[in-house]
Structure 1
Amino acid sequence: MDIRSLLPLVSLLAVFISCILAVFLLTVRTRSWLSNALLAGFILLNALDISSWFVNRFLVDYPTLLLLKISLNTLINPLFYFYALALCYSDFRLRAKHLWHLLPFAVLTLVLMPRFYLVDAAAKQAFLAHYGGTPEATFSFVLGHLQFVFYITATFLTLRKYRRTYEENYADTSIITYRWLFQLTVVDTVLHSIIVVKDLLGFTPYSQLFNGLELLVGLNATCILSWFVLKALYNPTLFRSIDSSLPPVEQLIAQAQVAAAPAAMSEPAADQARQALIHRLRAHMVQAEPYLNPDLTVQDLARQLQLPARELSVLINHHLDQHFFDFVNEYRINKAKHLLKDPSQGKLTVLEILYAVGFNSKSSFNTSFKKQTGLTPTQYRST
């Protein structure tokens, strides 16, 4: 079977899966409806692009609709970036200021205006017949790939900030939001790199390689969309977000230094007060065992200690030189070590112990345990 004849079938399958997933995302009951809606929009626009392999020939008689469909690709990358923001930050909302992200679509429309949108039907047909060799097509190609680089970089920077803030303020070890978005962004980058190579080959005589890469893109898109479906079905409540107003610890330290400068206490007195607070914090961790709560946050712990959350965050993340994430895990692992060695708890399985000490993921527990002891929980129990 010729490669070209497989493309419509593969793309039709990908579009069908996309529609199923989009309906699921838009109808599933969840508190993160905005992020689901943005992901659904991202998937549907990708499906619209993929549908070119079997739809475009039916749109030849409707040139305006066909070129508008092609121009809509400029909205794919902003939607993905908005999805990342909505998933990472619980207080993210679409606002009027976000309309500037429509600028690439508007610019492309203006570029196409003189020789396409403002001419008669016959001229539009003639323009489309040679569209691949027009300056407008080259501009669209360059704009699309530059736009991708911009938004994928912005997404990776968002993820870096999210992870740092998460580890400084939360003790839930799964970080499922970060892992999902990181995987998704990497996959999107790899797939787009293949598309870049495919598009560049379109300007060369190597048409057979171009056709092969088109099929590869279609197959990859189908597999990735199937992965989306499975991920969404296994995690219908995706995912845990944080408040975007939470500042990094470095910023808190700088603010504290500025605020304390006019009336700063002597360094020995400040150090003595800090050590007393650390002693109070550690005593609370041992006696009250707040770490047993898998969803413990620095705000929760601050309320228990009747301290400002910012002060506690700086104390742990800066003065103890540990992320809140690692600070809490240290107590969880110590508790797990005690349970593993306690003869009266010999009937407890490792899985039961990890849940009992505040973990909610076996892989996270094993990683943290081995990092602290150099052994797996099973090895530690048998020593």
Structure 2
Amino acid sequence: MDNPDYLKIIALIAVFVLLLLIFFLLTVKTKNKLSNRIFASYLILTVIDTSGFFIADNITNNHPNLEIFRWTLYLLCIPLFYLYVQSICYTDFRLKLTHLLHAIPFAILNLVLIPRIYLTSNFEKKYFFKHHYETSEMVFFQSLIEIQYLLYIIAIFILLRKYRKIYFENYTNSNTAAYKWLFQMTVIFALAHYFATFKNLLRYTDYHKLLIFANECMGIIALLLTCWFVLKALNYPELFRGIDSKLQLAKDFIPKTIISKNHETALIASQITALKKYMMDKKPYLDQSLTIQDLANQTNIPVRELSILINLHMQQHFFDFVNQYRIENAMEILRNHSKSELTVLEILYKVGFNSKSSFNTAFKKHTSITPSEYRNSSS
């Protein structure tokens, strides 16, 4: 089997699996329909790009303008992925007309190609396809892709960093699957993209064997990424819990809070004491889905003041603040010999956690040992 046939078979398998995943995303019952549709759109463009391995020659000969247009669709991929990340991070995300601005590089490139490529004769088009890597249009295209990709990757990492901070300042649910999934995808996409860039640069060298090997690797990488998407989609069909885009970090709005300097220390101290007493007496931390808005409603403290109190004055994320009480409650149960029949799994649900891994991580962070080790040392 020669290399072109080998690559075509890999690409065909990848496209088939991607189409199954697209069908799954568009038909699965979930509250995240918009996110799934955006990701499905991204995957559709990926299918169009990957299909070039086995349809490019036929389209080039019969519909050259369509093949060139297919190339330019790549400029819509990373903007769609950025919108997907936003839709996962923010529960109130909606598509707006302003999001069409992300298509500006795509529009600019196609406008540039109209007089230079689209409107030229078939002879000139054939010359372009044969020598396109030597043309100024292709240099402009590649440069536009690299600049765009770099800017969007940076923007995605900034968005994820902010999302993670706000999540820990406002929520106690330890399920950070969304952040991990998006972070992993962004890193893997970036690595795959820059490997493809390296492969394209080989076209300008004499390393033809290395270029063939890189093409094979690119096909295998595309297939592996496709399979990874499918596994993730099957394991997490209800991705994910987002945050409200109106939420801010505590440090961003503290200047708006005016407190008399003469009474500041005493007031903060009294608020902290009252908050700790409420946590001990009422045990709101037993609610697995407790948020800072929920606690603010229960304590009659404005949510911004409560956020500043916990995240800045007590120097704890809301996430860690609440988990501290959960762990102390769990330690009390583990020390109680009359409750020795309770398993660790039963205890973690009893004190407000929703997974064994998050409970073990928080417990070890608080005590430096595992729950089982703590129970054994207590007995």
Q: TM-score category by the smaller chain? A: over 0.9
Match of 2:308 among 311, 314, 323: 314
Question: Could you tell me how far 1:247 is from its partner in structure 2?
Answer: 1.1
Matches within 5 A, 1:64-213: 64-213=65-214
| 1:367 equivalenced with 2:361 (yes/no) | yes
Counterpart amino acid of 2:288? Answer: P
Tell me how far 1:5 sits from its aligned partner.
2.5
Query: Equivalents in 2 of 1:192, 1:353: separation in Å?
Result: 46
Post-superposition offset of 1:124: 2.5
SS at match of 1:30: coil
Percentage of identical aligned residues: 44
Q: Alignment RMSD, CA only?
A: 1.3
Structure 2 letter corresponding to 1:46: T
Displacement, 1:347? 1.6
Pairing 1:272–2:254 present = no
Q: Structure 1 regions of 5+ residues with no counterpart?
A: none
Partner SS for 2:175: coil
Matches of 2:298 and 2:126, distance apart in 1: 71
Whole-Å separation in 2 of the counterparts to 1:299 and 1:7:
53
Q: Does 1:338 align with 2:332?
A: yes
1:189 partner letter = A
**Amino acid corresponding to residue 5 of structure 1 in structure 2:** D
Amino acid at match of 1:133: E
Classify the secondary structure of the residue corresponding to 1:239.
Answer: coil
Partner of 2:56: 56
Bigger Cα displacement from structure 2, 117-126 vs 36-45: 117-126
Distance in 2 (CA, whole Å) between partners of 1:320 and 1:352 is: 30
Whole-Å Cα distance in 2 between the matches of residues 363 and 210 of structure 1?
44
Residue 246 of structure 2 aligns to a residue whose secondary structure is: coil
Whole-angstrom CA distance in 1 between matches of 2:182 and 2:246 = 20
SS at match of 1:202: helix
**Within 2, Cα distance between the matches of 1:237 and 1:277?**
38
CA displacement, residues 280-314 of structure 1 (integer Å, 9 cap, x when unaligned): 11111111111111111000000010111111011
Q: 2:342 aligns with which of 333, 343, 348?
A: 348
Q: Determine the C-alpha separation between the residues in 1 that align with 2:149 and 2:261.
A: 52
Whichever residue aligns with residue 84 of structure 2, its letter is: Y
Q: Which runs of 5+ in 2 are unaligned?
A: none
CA 308–114 in structure 1, closer or farther in 2 if over 3 Å, else same: same
Q: SS where residue 204 of structure 2 aligns?
A: coil
SS where residue 70 of structure 2 aligns? helix
Hey, what's the Cα distance between the residues in 2 that align with 1:205 and 1:8? 24
Aligned mates of 1:131, 1:302 — CA distance in 2:
62
Q: Provide the residue aligned with 2:217 in structure 1.
A: 216
**Cα distance between partner residues in 1 of 2:211 and 2:375:** 57
Q: Is the 8 A contact 1:115 1:127 kept in 2?
A: no
Please state how far the C-alpha of 1:341 moved relative to its aligned partner.
1.6
Moved more, 308-317 or 217-226: 217-226
Q: Shift of residue 122 of structure 1?
A: 3.6
Instruction: Indicate the larger mover: 339-348 or 5-14.
Output: 339-348
Q: Structure 2: which amino acid aligns with 1:125?
A: K
Separation in structure 1 between the aligned mates of residue 291 and residue 105 of structure 2, nearest angstrom: 40
CA shift for structure 1 position 222: 1.3
Count of residues in Structure 1 that have an aligned counterpart in Structure 2: 376
Q: 1:317-339: CA deviations, max 9, x gaps?
A: 00000000110110111111111
